[in-house]
Amino acid sequence: MPNATSPPRIWVLADDRTGNANQAIGVAEALGFPFEIKRLEYTRWGRLPNLIRGASFLGVQDAYRDGITPPWPDLVIAAGRRTVPIARYIKRANHGRTFLAHIMWPGSPVGELDLLAVPEHDQVPPQPNIIHTLGAPHRVTAARLIQDANQWRARLAHLPRPHIGVLVGGTAGKQVFEAAAATLLGQHISQMARDSGGSLLVTTSRRTGAAATEALVAAINAPAYTHLWTRDNPENPFFAFLGWSDVMVVTGDSTSMCSEACATGRPVYIFAPPDNTAPKHKHLHQRLYEIGYAKPLDGTFDTWNYPPLNAADMIAQAIRQRVGL
C-alpha cells in the first residue's frame, strides 16, 4: 500500500444493482481518497454460483471488461455477490497485492476477501476477516443533504412544518407491496401530518408498482408534495427529502432506506406489516427500535434524536486500520 505521500489507487466495482453500487461508493467516499468507479453489467452466466465462476470475468459483458486492466489498484471496494469473481481476478493478477473489501455476505468462497462487512441481520458467524454492521453503508452526509435540499427549496419551502418525509419502497422478492398496505400507509402518514399540523414529502420508487402507488395517493389526506417514480422522470428527490424532513417514515422492505433514514439523526418510523416483512428485515427493525433509532409506524407523531447511523464510516475505519492508511 502506498505511503502518505502516495495515495492508494482505489477501484469501486459498481454492479448494475443501484443499492449495491451505492453502498460500495459510500464506503469509498468515507475513506476520503480519490477513487475510480468500474461499472459492471452481466450476462446470464452471472447467475452462476461464485464457486463455479471462480476468479474470472465469467458472466461479465465484454464491454465492461475493457476498463479492468493494469495498473492494478491497491484497494478494491465492492458489494453484492456477482462482483466477487472480478475482485478475486484483480487480486490474483496483482500477485495478491490488492486488498479486497467486500460489503454484504456473498456466499462461498470468501477466503481471498481481506475484509467482509456484513450486516448484523444476516446473522453470519464471526470470522477473522468479518466485521458486523448495524444496517447498510450509504452515501448520506450532512453536506449532501444541504446541497440537495437547496435544489428543491422553491418546491418545498411553502409547505407547513414539521415536514414528514416518506420514502416508499415496494415489492422485494416474495414480499409483495399490496394496494391494501399502501392504503394503510397513506392513512397513517396523513394522520401524522394532520395531528402535527405539518405536511408530507412523499416519494415512490421503481419497486412500488402502479396499483400500490394509486392506492397510496388516494389515501393521502393532508398537505403533501408527492413525487411519483416513472421511467421517464429522471428527477430523484430522495436526498432532498432527507434534508428537508423533520421526521422520516420509511417502508421496511429496504435495508438501505432504513439505514439512510437513520443517518439523519431525526425520528424514523418504519412501516413493516408483520405478515409481509422478511425475517432478516424484522431483525434489523427490532435492533433499530431497541437502540432508539426508530419506532414502528402506527400513525402517532413523536420526536426524539440520536447519533446518526453511519456504517460507511465504520467500514472505512476498519479498512484504514487493516491496510495502514
CATH 3.30.700.30 fits 142-296, yes or no: no
For 235-310, where are the alpha helices, taking DSSP H only? 238-244, 255-262, 279-291
Do the beta carbons of residue 130 and residue 144 sit within 8 Å?
no
Mean pLDDT per block of 10 residues along the chain (325 residues) reads 75 92 96 97 96 96 94 97 97 98 94 95 89 94 94 95 97 91 98 97 95 97 95 89 97 94 97 90 95 96 94 96 90
Architecture of domain 10-138+312-323: 3-Layer(aba) Sandwich (3.40)
The domains of the chain are located at: 10-138+312-323, 142-296
The number of angstroms, rounded, from the C-alpha of 256 to the middle of its chain's C-alpha atoms is 3
Pairing mode of beta strands 36-39, 10-14? parallel
Domains 10-138+312-323 and 142-296 share a fold: yes
pLDDT at position 268 is: 98
Compute φ and ψ for 239, nearest 5 degrees: -70, -30
Which residue is listed with cell 456466499? 107
Distance (Å, whole) CA 99 – CA 19: 22
pLDDT at position 1 is: 57
Q: Give the global pTM.
A: 0.90
Do the beta carbons of residue 82 and residue 59 sit within 8 Å?
yes
Compute φ and ψ for 281, nearest 5 degrees: -70, -40
pLDDT at position 4 is: 55
